[in-house]
Amino acid sequence: MRIPLSQYNFASLDLNSALVDNLASLGYTEMTPIQAQALPPILANKDVIARAKTGSGKTASFALGLLNKLDVKRFRVQTLVLCPTRELADQVAIEIRKLARGIHNIKVLTLCGGMAFGPQVGSLEHGAHIIVGTPGRIEEHLRKANLNLDNLTTLVLDEADRMLDMGFQQALDDIVGYMPEQRQTMLFSATYPAKIEKTARRIMQSPVTVEVQDSHNKQTILQTLYQVANNESRVEAIRLLLQAYRPETTLIFCNTKIDTDRVANELRAVGYAALALHGDLEQKQRDQTLVCFANRSASVLVATDVAARGLDIDALDLVINYQIASELEVHTHRIGRTGRAGAQGIACSLYVHRENHKIGLLEDYLEENFERNDLPDIALLDQPVFYPPMVTLHIAGGKKQKLRAGDIVGALTGIDGIPGTAIGKIQVGDNWSYVAVTNEHGKTAFNKLNEGTLKGRSFKVRRLRG
């Protein structure tokens, strides 16, 4: 299905006028390719399978569709959006709320694992129009009769391929059993393996399939291959690339959890602020790892493909493939993490001689010949490693202690404080807060928060270690 983009902007769609006005206020006028293809059938209430990478604007596609048909006066759960990770669910809920600003009294509730169960039960008792969550926690609430889907009209599976990769097939099947057969189902996926096709056949009715081809090319992403002598040489090659490019943010993909930990440990041993991200981490560890990397207080994140789904990183300077991805489509998804929003990205892939056949298959798949280069000079390893530009401070207080971002800024910039330009991202949770500050002002910021007060109270402060 191909739609001439020149014929469409958001105002041309059969959307609620409040949604159109809000889109205009947000500066959204022209649709992305996936929005132009997916929105017409979505608004026609058809089941839709959409294949598009992260960062393509897919969230707005299904969010506008579900908001357009929502009956606000009917205070029942009408939409369920399932995501593979808590981080992605949080992002999706934020985007839905942003797009729904022009329509009053819409309630969006997030239900994810890794969060206290009791408060979620209380929130469900007060009702919601839209639920966004992870399969395990949604299935648990359904099983315990805390959540009722009898009035559901829309089901969205976001990043469906990774949900199945993470072992949520049974939970998905169980969840679908609690909802009406007559509903609209939308399935969004970066890749479309056979198991996704099987799931789609089971839960969808005559779906319309739309697909946006990835437009990675030499103008948007510079891809380079580097041959290494053996597996033991890969970490040294990564160090050379880091020293040559000196990026603020680097995402390194490994195929296994064991390699992820090993690579991160070896990089830390020589001085890099490197963190590992994989499925064996506890939720608290995962949250703090993502905060450090997103705040630029850790320079390098070493991750598995599943764990990296849903990362919300504004500007990623460099992607390194420690190994060639096991599936060709996954390679495209990996390198799509860099070179977004019109900026050129850099993707480097390491391989050994026996992997030449994989390179050939990948070049045929992408219809592109990769550049092959020699690794940078070994002398670069004698130079000092670089440090991240920011530090992240953890404050043991949040919304339940009446803290706001403005309170933290005020405390930091008060008498003998730091300039406002030295403050980066601030996140305030129920019982915690994170604030990023530049390295040069890190010690002053720590002392101001640790020795001073917020809302007239003292809070314990510590530095998160990248």
Maximal C-alpha separation, the chain:
68
Cα–Cα distance between 135 and 330 in angstroms, integer?
Answer: 22
Task: Give 83-140 pLDDT, tens digit per residue.
Answer: 987 888 998 999 999 999 988 889 999 998 878 899 999 999 999 999 999 898 999 9
How far is CA 312 from each of CA 55, 71, 136, 373, 405, rounded to the nearest angstrom?
9, 31, 22, 31, 20
Domains and CATH numbers, the chain: 5-211 (3.40.50.300), 221-382 (3.40.50.300), 390-464 (3.30.70.330)
In the prediction, which pLDDT does 5 show?
Answer: 40
Is the CB of residue 59 less than 8 Å from the CB of residue 95?
Answer: yes
Cα–Cα distance between 90 and 85 in angstroms, integer?
Answer: 9
Side-by-side strand order, sheet with 390-395: 423-428, 433-438, 390-395, 461-464
Tokens of 96: 């839905």
Task: Give 431-457 pLDDT, tens digit per residue.
Answer: 999 999 999 999 999 999 999 899 889
- Report the pLDDT averaged over residues 230-239: 95
DSSP conformational letter for 454: B
Cα–Cα distance between 214 and 201 in angstroms, integer?
Answer: 25
Cα–Cα distance between 435 and 445 in angstroms, integer?
Answer: 10
Check pLDDT > 60 for residue 70: yes
Check pLDDT > 80 for residue 39: yes
Cα–Cα distance between 362 and 327 in angstroms, integer?
Answer: 9
